Structure 1
Amino acid sequence: MNKHQLASTIWESANQMRSKIEANEYKDFILGFIFYKYLSERELDLFHKEKLSEDEIKKVAEKDVKYAKHVRETLGYFIAYDNLFSTWLAKGNDFDVKDVRDALSDFDQNIDEVYKKVFEKIFNTLQTGLSKLGETSGSQTKAVKKLLKLIKKIPMDGKQDYDVLGFIYEYLISNFAANAGKKAGEFYTPHEVSVLMSEIVAEHLKDRKQIKIYDPTSGSGSLLINIGRSAAKYISGDGKIDYYAQELKENTFNLTRMNLVMRGIKPANINVRNGDTLEDDWPFFEENKKETTYKLVRVDAVVSNPPYSQKWDPKDKEFDPRYKDFGVAPKAKADFAFLLHDLYHLEDDGIMTIVLPHGVLFRGGEEAKIRENLIEKNRIDAIIGLPENIFFGTNIATIIMVLKKNRPSSDVLIIDASKGFEKSGKNNKLRASDIKKIVDTVKYRTEIDKYSVLVSKETVKENEYNLNITRYVDSTDDPEKWDIRATMFGGIPVSEVDAFEKYWEAFPGLRDALFKEVSAGYLQPRTKDIKGTIDSFESVEAYRVTFTKAFAGFYETLKDDLIDGILDVSVEQEKEKITEDIFGRIDRVKLADRYVAYQVFAKYWDIISADIEMLQTEGFQVITQVDPNMVIKKNNKNDDDDEVTEVQDGWKGHILPFELVQEMLMPNEVEEIRVLEERLSEIAGEYTEIIDSLDEDEKQGSFLNDSNDAFVSKELKAACDEILQDVESAEINDLNKYMTMPKKEQLAFIKTCTDVDWDVIDKNKDGSCKKPSLTSRIQQLKMEYEFPEDSYERKLLSALRLSDEESTARRSVKQKKEALHIKTKKVIEDLSEDEALQIVEQKWIAPFVSALDNISSAIITDVINKMDYLALKYSTTMHDIQSEKTDVKSSLSEMIGMLSADGSDSEGLMEFQKILGGYVR
């Protein structure tokens, strides 16, 4: 399994096992045990590097003071052999939850003094929460054993960029956040937002050789880690990034530490603190020498997603150096308190990004004063409006504010990115293209209509320092215009056609081919076939050619880089290279949006990069590897004991998809199955036709289900047997006669009876007929009997024939699929390197380039839809509607006039005619 598949499998199993435990609590168990496994395996790696034998490893214990000290000084901690994760697994049925309690207690006693801040009490949340896994020691033991068995699958080596452990850890955190409701916001910033902030920060820091980054509300630490990963692309060498993190809640603080350590960050580069950021600022000092060792922490980048509009205590904070130059945030809303804390810790050439609610942009009082000071001191670099409902636990719209201390410009870049997202379950989610567009806009400080604008300090002053995004960027769609004259008399206003000038520039001559003038300032369509006219128009065809030419040689370039150099590809560098190549090509084509193309690329790059990582880290030989396809199976013994197991369901390619291999190398077998499946679809339609042809009385039979939309097989056969019971023919009668004869007369009867086709009936050795074959022949003859067209009997027999055909076809499909599956496994395993690479090429490059080429078709389809709408918009005028109403009134009045009535009814009809304006008798 690749890391995506493994993470998904572990999440599914873990979520099944947590049963009634809240997601927000269960995360602490599984993530804590994953971390313990990681520490255990790091220690085992050390033993192996130091050439300890297995017997020597088993003797490693606390009483070996010298070696225990050596391990503590090397790793920062020591775990005795009896307490290792692998030892727990090896105990089998002898394992007990007490083993975990003892091990975690021992861990805290075996931390090196230098590493206390990184490891001390890191398992507190796990240790104190074990009781929640069951009411008894036995049930707790059983729950822990399931978790250990599940976590056993996670590889911990993290070679090169193939960071399986880190990926799985963040995947689990993300999914637990999605299931944790409002509590999710306490520990997780969605990955896409984290990537967005990371890319903005990394661009600013890209020329530095060593950096410090800080998150004062660190949560799980994922935001800080993503910043570090993005920055590391530009920084060579290990240990060049120092991580600073502070978190208020202890269990979340433990997550931060675990996450940082498991990403391979050296403890020397980890600076963490469990404290209240607003109350407990971060200077360094030695506990016993606070006055003389005080040192303020300043960093190159601060990133944070603090709790929104939290209450805090601003008393005496006007003297706090963090706030004294800008102002103190109000008691009810600490948003600006967090922002100013972050800003205070920036180096003069640093950058910070912070997620905040929109209110900080326009609220009055103390916050207005802080905004004014930030603008006047030129600290705000950019404001990015995000879509609503992208954070777990809240659906409010938020912003990212980018601040710097030394800025060459006093303009503020304001971006309204609120419309760029896709739906993802209950939440909205930034797409790769949305992130790329925002990052590029910040990087180049680009102004884009209805998206971004550079606002001068003077303009902000004129707006009384109100930074509300809608004051500066109007991202709303233009309201649709309706021409009153065209509504009354028809015709399309020239101005509405001219509004599509970008189309007429891209497709010369198309405007005149679609519209003609009918009066001054008004046009009408030349044709009713808008689609056909546009599709076949010369300049539209030329546009398709132009688009295709823009990507000439692109396929070959990708093949050279990705296929021919598959083991030497640098994933990050190649991603940037392909992105620039796509942008350079697509920017030459009118109407084409580079970010639409980027989204196509991002979709396929996820697949390509995952495969490259596996090939480069596991070895090229895995290209022809086939793995068991494991699926989760839940056995419900009772409500309190859900056994979750993995079982094999066939095979799957490690790199090469079975379906693609079948399409390329076994097309005949695939076609046979396709034909059978198409026939099964046809049979379903024919069933429906038969049912629809039955009258209501005929549908009362038990051969239909309760909703009368499908046949019941067993009952249908019984009904048909009853219909066929009295069917006779000369051959049927003779066969029945044969079956009642004494055996000695049967052979003579066969020779003399000419009405029976004896050759189609199976014989015994003595020449007599086999009874099953006789019965089958009689049934066949009865089924062939021709009942009258459209008769009830004929319909049911047709359904029975379809049922028999359907059963045969389903069996055949199943057998052929099973045979094809087994054959595919062998074919993949026997592929040569060149054959395997040809399939990889079709998996990676062919669909990617085809999807890019489809962009031009999507653009043309968009033009067709807009022109179709424009043609229909004024096609029905108010005169047409009025005329139709008059005709209806006249017809109705005439029909009333044909009625006869007496007394008051007659008076009523006459009044109705008056209202309609018709003739009155």
Structure 2
Amino acid sequence: MNKQQLAAKIWESANKMRSKIEANEYKDYILGFIFYKYLSDKQEQWLLKRDYAPEDIVEYVNEDDPEIVEASQQSLGYFIAYKDMFSTWIHMGSDFSVDNVRTALSSFTRLISPSHKKVFDGIFNTLETGLSKLGENTKSQTKAVSDLIQLINDIPMDGRQDYDVLGFIYEYLIEKFAANAGKKAGEFYTPHEVSVLMSELIAAHLKGQKELKIYDPTSGSGSLLINIGHAIAKYMDNPDCIRYYAQELKANTYNLTRMNLVMRGILPYNIVTRNGDTLEDDWPYFDEADPVMTYDPLYVDAVVSNPPYSQRWEPKGKENDPRYARYGIAPKSKADYAFLLHDLYHLKPDGIMTIVLPHGVLFRGGEEGQIRKNLIEQNNIDVIIGLPANIFFGTGIPTIIMVLRQKRENTDVLIVDASKGFEKEGKNNKLRACDIRKIVDTVTMRLDIPKYSRSITREEIRANDYNLNIPRYVDSSEAAESWDIYASMFGGIPETELAELNAYWNLFPSLKNELFVAENGYAQLRTEHLKQTIQENADVKAFLQHYQDAFSDLGEKLDQALIGQADQLSIPKAEDEIAGMILNRFEDIALADKYEAYQIFKTEYEQIAGDLELIQTEGMDAVRQVDPNMVAKKKGDDEKEVQEGWKGHIIPFEFAQKIFLKADLDAVDAKKARLQEIPSEYENILEECSEEEKETISEALNDSNDAFVIKNVKAMIKVLKQDAEENKILIERLSKAENLNSEEKKLKSEIKSAEEELHLKTKTVIENMTDEDIHHVLVIKWIDPICDGISKLPENLLGVLEKKVKALSEKYADTYEDIENEITKTQNELIKMLDELTGSDTDMAGIMEFRKLLGGE
């Protein structure tokens, strides 16, 4: 299975296993064991590369051999004896105990290399102290730990190029636990999409630099730093030239940061972390033993942070702190600007920072207003991005990303209202790939887009008393619908409202006159066949041809880029290059939304990337591979996996059947279709029977007389045949029901046999595909969905136009006079109905009064 499937399987199992333990706590156990497995497996691989045979590892890898201990510490920074290795726990079977884990973690701490203390010291404290919460006694704790280590044993730890399974699964689990942790989630997790957005903004600014230092002063799980590293690495030849600085207040979350960074293959030298209070102790950089005398501030290329929102802090004594001296002190009740100024202080002159903050920092007054004024006057605020609500786990408050720099050439501030671009996912909103790309493009190219973004001059900000509230500058709200009084009275579509569609009329100059006839500023729709008229317009046809020409070679280019180099391409770089190629083709195509095309590509590429990872890891023969289809079966209290047939490693069986075995598949589908028709034929037979006839044959029906009891039908026919002439019709109907039942049984048997045969045929077909077959299948699976999706975008565009024109024509189709006449007609009809009513004197008095209200005499 690919990394997405493996991650989903581990999450599902882990979530079932955690029982009553809070998600926020349980994450520390499973993630801690994953990290221990990573370190243990890494040491095994290191030993094997030093020509240790497996039996040598068993016999010699222990503390009694100081040479191997020292060599491991020098190379890896730690030493794990054979008896404490993760794989040893797995092989111990029923002899394994939770005490083995306690001993191993204690030994690990004792045997850390002095040079790696800051990276590894105390990293398993949360796991070690939490083992007792996994059960009431040693037996139950052992069972819980054993289940956990068996679950994560399948995770490969030898991350190959662009096949970072371990990192992906780790991040996947962190996100899932965050989604289940409620308000506590904000303590350690920034949603992946927000992290990617911030990373891309920073990477776009820093690309081209050979060495980088990046810093997160509220690092949480470390995902922000890691995503920046990934984003920047696309533009660097050597990702080992990035140094990561991180500080985190909460100890268990700080451990997540270190684990995450280490497991991404970042060199220990490049990991500089600290467990401490960012606002109290300005770190980096000082020696913990003498913080005052050794203070030497570090300046980095990028700072990224998602600090706790509006947290209380202690500003007393901070007046002379160099971080705040130029700008002011944040109020005691809200530390938002304290975090921002800390980040800004550590930026190099040409550096960049992004920070997530609550919306209130844009307009709150007092000390915050003064800090905001100073930031504007000193030209530090570069961009403000308004995010959708409910985008962070555990809080629905509106948030922003602020981009700041120490030195800028321009003096304006770009305001981006991205609050409307998202998709709903459960209780939360989520940025889509197209939303992220649009924001990044808007910021990097500093675009002014109506109702989305605008560059604001410093003079305009001053005129607004340094209030940066987004709606003051960018109005993204939908315009309130207005009604033309003349058109409401006399009909017709106002030209002013047709002018709102000028983007279409400019693109299709002849279309407006083909759709409308206009007089004195008001137009009437001149065709009943709106869709047909639009599609047959010469300008529309020319546009469609132009669009088709722009993408005529897209399939060929994708084939060359993906299938032609499947075993060697860089998956993230290929994604970036193809995305650029697709977006560039929209440069001279008006109205079509290039970000819709980008979303189509990104959605499909997720699947393609999973397939490419398998091909690059296992070779092209992976496409021919068929795996046992394992399903969970419950027997009593136990659940175990059993095989139910086969499944394609990369090519789904259903997919192969549609391509290579269509005739067989159609034959099975035809039988299934016939099987689905039979229930309605039973119903038709019963509908033909009167209630009296149903009573006659009730022995062959269920208690409510609305379905046949087939086992009784034959006996009922036998009874009816005693007077065959009189019961001729009923005998025919029951015989028909009996025949339908026979056909139904036969079809079910035939379908089962045919499906089993088709299943085995499919297995054989996949396993015996030629190279040409593989190419054909991958074109259909990878390339066609992208090309087909992008080719349909003009249809969507024309569909929107048709919908808008139809809405305008219907808006004024009924004039006020028409509506008044309809009301009068309805009232008159109701009066006539009231005249026909009879009742008591009081009833009639009430009816007469109602009649008067309706306008009757």
TM-score above 0.5, yes or no: yes
Deviation, 1:808, is: 2.7
Q: 1:56 is aligned with what amino acid?
A: D
Deviation, 1:483, is: 1.1
After superposition, the C-alpha distances for 1:531-584 in whole angstroms (9 at most, x for unaligned) are 333234343333322221121111112222222233332323322322222122
Give 2:302's aligned residue: 301
After superposition, the C-alpha distances for 1:493-548 in whole angstroms (9 at most, x for unaligned) are 1221222111222233222222223x522222212332333234343333322221
Distance 1:909 1:266 in 2: 90
Q: 1:96 to 1:703 in 2, by over 3 A?
A: farther
Distance 2:303 2:49 in 1: 38
Q: 2:478 is aligned with what amino acid?
A: D
* SS of aligned partner of 1:384: strand
Deviation, 1:101, is: 0.7
Q: Which structure 2 residues correspond to residues 571-610 of structure 1 after superposition, within 5 A? A: 571-610=571-610
Deviation, 1:910, is: 5.5
Identity of matched residues, %: 53
Distance 1:503 1:464 in 2: 40
| Partners of 1:421 and 1:430 within 8 A in 2 | yes
| Partners of 1:16 and 1:644 within 8 A in 2 | no
Q: 1:510 to 1:634 in 2, by over 3 A?
A: farther
Give 1:503's aligned residue: 504
Give 2:366's aligned residue: 365
After superposition, the C-alpha distances for 1:32-67 in whole angstroms (9 at most, x for unaligned) are 111111100111111111112233211211121232
Q: 1:495 to 1:673 in 2, by over 3 A?
A: same
Give 1:566's aligned residue: 566
Give 2:533's aligned residue: 533
Q: 1:372 to 1:902 in 2, by over 3 A?
A: closer
Deviation, 1:831, is: 1.2
Distance 1:189 1:405 in 2: 25
* SS of aligned partner of 2:354: strand
Distance 2:507 2:114 in 1: 70
Give 1:766's aligned residue: none
After superposition, the C-alpha distances for 1:328-373 in whole angstroms (9 at most, x for unaligned) are 1111111111111111111111111000100000011110011001
| Partners of 1:786 and 1:794 within 8 A in 2 | no
* SS of aligned partner of 2:585: helix
Give 2:49's aligned residue: 49
Deviation, 1:830, is: 1.0
Deviation, 1:684, is: 4.0
Distance 2:137 2:694 in 1: 59
Q: 1:160 is aligned with what amino acid?
A: Q
Pick one of 653, 656, 661 that aligns with 1:658: 653
Deviation, 1:821, is: 1.5
Q: 1:607 to 1:717 in 2, by over 3 A?
A: same
Give 1:395's aligned residue: 396
Give 1:721's aligned residue: 714
Q: Which structure 2 residues correspond to residues 193-342 of structure 1 after superposition, within 5 A? A: 193-288=194-289, 290=291, 293-342=294-343
| Partners of 1:688 and 1:709 within 8 A in 2 | no
Distance 1:169 1:799 in 2: 58
Q: 1:540 to 1:684 in 2, by over 3 A?
A: farther
Distance 2:218 2:291 in 1: 24
Q: 1:89 is aligned with what amino acid?
A: I
894-903 or 424-433, larger mean C-alpha shift: 894-903
| Partners of 1:622 and 1:654 within 8 A in 2 | yes
Pick one of 808, 813, 835 that aligns with 2:751: 813
Deviation, 1:139, is: 1.0
The reply to whether residue 356 of structure 1 matches residue 357 of structure 2 is yes
Q: 1:723 is aligned with what amino acid?
A: M
Give 2:133's aligned residue: 132
Pick one of 778, 795, 811 that aligns with 1:857: 795
Q: Which structure 2 residues correspond to residues 477-492 of structure 1 after superposition, within 5 A? A: 477-492=478-493
* SS of aligned partner of 2:122: coil
Distance 2:401 2:67 in 1: 52
Q: 1:158 is aligned with what amino acid?
A: G
Give 1:420's aligned residue: 421
Q: Which structure 2 residues correspond to residues 20-35 of structure 1 after superposition, within 5 A? A: 20-35=20-35
After superposition, the C-alpha distances for 1:106-131 in whole angstroms (9 at most, x for unaligned) are 11100011111111111111111111
The reply to whether residue 89 of structure 1 matches residue 90 of structure 2 is yes
Q: 1:336 to 1:230 in 2, by over 3 A?
A: same
After superposition, the C-alpha distances for 1:198-247 in whole angstroms (9 at most, x for unaligned) are 00011111121111111111111111101111111112225201111111
Distance 1:888 1:876 in 2: 16
Which protein is bigger by CA-based radius of gyration?
1
* SS of aligned partner of 2:792: helix
Deviation, 1:888, is: 2.7
| Partners of 1:550 and 1:588 within 8 A in 2 | no
| Partners of 2:694 and 2:705 within 8 A in 1 | no
Q: Which structure 2 residues correspond to residues 882-921 of structure 1 after superposition, within 5 A? A: 882-897=820-835, 913-918=851-856
* SS of aligned partner of 2:719: coil
Deviation, 1:395, is: 1.4
After superposition, the C-alpha distances for 1:294-321 in whole angstroms (9 at most, x for unaligned) are 3212211110111111111111111211
Q: Which structure 2 residues correspond to residues 841-880 of structure 1 after superposition, within 5 A? A: 841-880=779-818
Q: Which structure 2 residues correspond to residues 800-839 of structure 1 after superposition, within 5 A? A: 800-839=738-777
* SS of aligned partner of 1:628: strand
Give 2:167's aligned residue: 166
| Partners of 1:7 and 1:168 within 8 A in 2 | yes
* SS of aligned partner of 1:313: coil
Distance 1:159 1:122 in 2: 25
| Partners of 2:624 and 2:768 within 8 A in 1 | yes
Give 1:775's aligned residue: none
Distance 2:699 2:813 in 1: 54
Q: 1:354 is aligned with what amino acid?
A: I
Pick one of 675, 678, 684 that aligns with 2:673: 678
305-314 or 578-587, larger mean C-alpha shift: 578-587
72-81 or 815-824, larger mean C-alpha shift: 815-824
Q: 1:680 is aligned with what amino acid?
A: L
* SS of aligned partner of 1:318: coil
Deviation, 1:704, is: 7.3
Q: 1:316 to 1:903 in 2, by over 3 A?
A: closer
After superposition, the C-alpha distances for 1:428-455 in whole angstroms (9 at most, x for unaligned) are 1111110001011111111101000001
Deviation, 1:477, is: 1.1
| Partners of 1:586 and 1:592 within 8 A in 2 | yes
Q: 1:84 is aligned with what amino acid?
A: M
* SS of aligned partner of 2:610: helix
Distance 2:540 2:375 in 1: 52
Distance 1:413 1:623 in 2: 48
Deviation, 1:623, is: 2.0
Give 2:446's aligned residue: 445
After superposition, the C-alpha distances for 1:816-865 in whole angstroms (9 at most, x for unaligned) are 22221221111111112221121111111112101110111111111111
Q: 1:433 to 1:723 in 2, by over 3 A?
A: same
Q: 2:397 is aligned with what amino acid?
A: I
Q: 1:149 is aligned with what amino acid?
A: Q
Distance 1:487 1:698 in 2: 60
Deviation, 1:787, is: 5.9
Q: 1:609 to 1:294 in 2, by over 3 A?
A: same
Distance 1:914 1:678 in 2: 61
Give 1:523's aligned residue: 523
In the superposition, the TM-score normalised over structure 2's length comes to 0.95
* SS of aligned partner of 1:401: strand
After superposition, the C-alpha distances for 1:125-171 in whole angstroms (9 at most, x for unaligned) are 11111111111111111111111111110001101011111111101
| Partners of 1:13 and 1:644 within 8 A in 2 | no
Cα RMSD for the two superposed structures: 2.4
| Partners of 1:632 and 1:645 within 8 A in 2 | yes
* SS of aligned partner of 2:429: strand
Distance 1:324 1:187 in 2: 30
228-237 or 85-94, larger mean C-alpha shift: 228-237
Distance 1:57 1:514 in 2: 82
**Is there any run of 5+ residues in structure 2 with no aligned partner, and where?**
none
Distance 1:900 1:185 in 2: 70
